[in-house]
Copies of this chain bind each other. A is one copy, B any other.
Amino acid sequence: MSQTSTKLLISCPDQKGIVFEVSKFISENNGNIIDSQQHSLGLDSKFFMRLEIDIPLPTKELAQKFKAIADKFSMDYKFSSGKKRMAILVSKYDHCLYDILLKQKHGNINVEIPIIISNHPDLADVAKSFGIEYKHLPVNGDKASQEAEIIKNLDNLDIDFIAMARYMQILSGDFVNHYPHRIINVHHSFLPSFKGANPYKQAYQKGVKIIGATAHYATEDLDMGPIISQDISAVNYKHSVDDYVLIGRDIEELVFARAIKAHTEDKIIVHQGKTIVFS
C-alpha cells in the first residue's frame, strides 16, 4: 500500500455505470488508480468498492467535488489519506499492547499512536520505552466521569479510532456510540462460541480441539459487534487451561493486529452488522 495515496470507500445500490463514472471522475481530476477492489451482491442489491488513488487534490476537496456522482448513485462514500491517529486502551495485560507497538515501530502497521490510556498504572513503563504518552485514568467507582475524561483526551489529540488492547472495563453504550465502528476490541474466544468470561476454561470443559480469538468493532451489545478478524490454534490433551490462555494470547495478538491494520488502511466496510474486509 502506498503511504501517500488517497483511499475511497463506496457503498451503494448496485447499478450499471458506477465504475465508469468513478474512474472518469478520477481521470478528470488527474488521478491514477493504484488498486481497486469491488464487491457486488448482484444488480438491484448492494455494491461495495475500495479504491486507492494517486491524486493531487486534498480529501476535503475531493469529497465536495464527488458529491454530484454520489447523489446520482445514492452512495455512502469516504475519502481518506494520511496516517490515522489511534488511541490504545489497556488495563494490565501487555501482550496485545506490545504487539501493536512493535508492529507500528517496524512498519507493519502504518498508524500514529499519540496516547495510551489505562485504568491502571502498571504499563506506564512500556509506553515510556516506546516514547508514547501514558495516561492513567482510574475508574474509582465513577465510570461516567472516567469515560468523559477519556473522550476529552481523545478529542484534544484528534484521535481517529480506539484500539482496546485487552481493556478490562465494559464501556458504556454512550461511549461506544460516540465512536461508531471506530473502536476495535479483541475477544478471547472464537465468537460466537464461549461468549463472556473465562472462554478458555469453557473451551477446555467442552473438549474442543481448536481455540480461537476474535477482533471486532465494539457495539453496545457486548461481544456482538461486527467481526473483523478471527483465527484459531489447535489444542490437544497435553494442554491445560493455563496453556490455553497462553496459546490464546498469541491468537488475540494476531487477530487484533490484523483488524487494526485493515482499519488503518480503510479496508473495512460495515454492512448489516457484518464486515467486508478487502484484501
Contact = CB atoms under 8 A, between A and B. Distances in A.
Interface of A: 16-20, 23-24, 26-27, 30-40, 43, 48, 54, 94-95, 98, 102, 106-108, 125-126, 129, 190-193, 206-210, 212, 226-232, 236-238, 246, 249, 273-279
A115 B211 CA distance: 35
Nearest to A49: B36
Nearest to A37: B37
Chain A binding surface SS class: mixed
A38 B107 CA distance: 24
A278 B39 CA distance: 14
A207 B227 contact: yes
25 contacts: A16-B30, A19-B19, A20-B26, A20-B27, A32-B43, A36-B38, A39-B238, A43-B54, A95-B102, A95-B106, A125-B129, A126-B129, A190-B210, A192-B208, A193-B193, A206-B274, A207-B227, A207-B273, A207-B274, A207-B275, A210-B230, A210-B232, A232-B232, A237-B277, A237-B278
B38 A33 contact: yes
A246 to B, nearest CB: 5
